[in-house]
Structures are given as structure tokens and as C-alpha cells.
Amino acid sequence: MTFGGYLNKMRGGGTSPPRVGLHEVGWSMLGAFLGIGSCCYLSGRYLEPRDLTLIIASFGASAVLIYAAVKSPLAQPRNLIGGHMFSAVIGVACYQLLGGSWYSAALAVSCAIAVMLLTGTLHPPGGATALLAVTGSAQIHNLGFLYVLVPVGLGAFIMLAIALAVNNLSLSRRYPEWWF
């Protein structure tokens, strides 16, 4: 391939997908509000007084997938739960073995991607979950492998429960497309 051919590939060539209607926007907003809101409420009410949290930034990206892109393979329950939990284990292990260095962060994300691909659990927010385990605050680091269960596992399961309830209230939605 020539350099010009290489650059030409970057022009794209497809068309943008159609925009969604207000009905879909409303259901997506409701799901995201209830999912993230539930995690925030439970975190503030029960976990933060015990130096735990239920809120991590990668859940915002998960909300986009499971409440707005419900048919995406990346939004299915196996991907949501497996992607976050595998990535959390890898991130914590990298931090505990290598500390908070740049190469530990890079290794955590790259290994998380590899494991998600190999296990069929690719969930892009999982990369952020692994990265946070390395670059996060002392509160996150002090959790050690508990980080995999709380906030990651518990938060992902709460958001999944909300996604199952809200997405299936709409006659035009079905979630999940598959479980395994």
C-alpha cells in the first residue's frame, strides 16, 4: 500500500447513521438517570461513610452503551459485567505489581483489552476501569482487590438491573439481545 492509499483510508466513505427519535432519547435519559442516580444515592448514603464508593467514571460510558445503544454487542450483560470485572482485576494486579507508573497504566489497559477480546466481553469502559485501578486516588488503591467487587461489580450489577427494567418498559426496545 502506498502512503497516499494509507491516507486515503482515513477519508471514510460511509454515511452517518440516522438520528434517533425523541422517544428513544427519553428512554435513554430515563435509564441513565436512574442507573447513575441509584449508584450515586447508594454510594453517598451507605458506602462513602465507610470509605467505599460506588461511583467510577467508567460507569458514565457504560450508561451510554446500556441505556442508549442497547442493541450494540458492547452493551450486552456479559460484556458489561465481564468487561468491567476482568479489567478491574487486571488493573489492580498491575498497580500492586508495578505501582502507579506510566507503564503500569499502559499495561493494565492493553492487557484488559486483550482479555476482553479473548473472553468475548469487550466493553470499552472496561479500559477506563483498568486505568482507574492504576491512576486512581488513594481511596481506590486502598481497596485493593475489593475494588473488583465494590465499586466495579456491585455498580455494574445495579446498572444492569436498571437497564433490564427500563429498557424493557418501552414497546420498541428489548434488552438484552443475548446473555452469553
- Which pLDDT belongs to residue 174? 96
- pLDDT tens digits, residue range 36-67? 999 999 999 999 998 889 999 999 999 999 99
For the chain, give every domain's residue range. 23-167
d(C-alpha 119, C-alpha 93), whole Å: 18
- pLDDT tens digits, residue range 86-134? 999 999 999 999 999 999 999 999 999 999 999 999 999 999 999 999 9
- Which pLDDT belongs to residue 148? 98
d(C-alpha 81, C-alpha 50), whole Å: 24
pTM: 0.94
- Which pLDDT belongs to residue 1? 85
* CA within 13 Å, CB half, 139: 12
**What would the mean pLDDT of 66-74 be, rounded to a whole number?**
98
Tell me: cis bond preceding 151? Omega within 30 of 0 counts: yes
52, 143 contact by CB (below 8 A)? yes
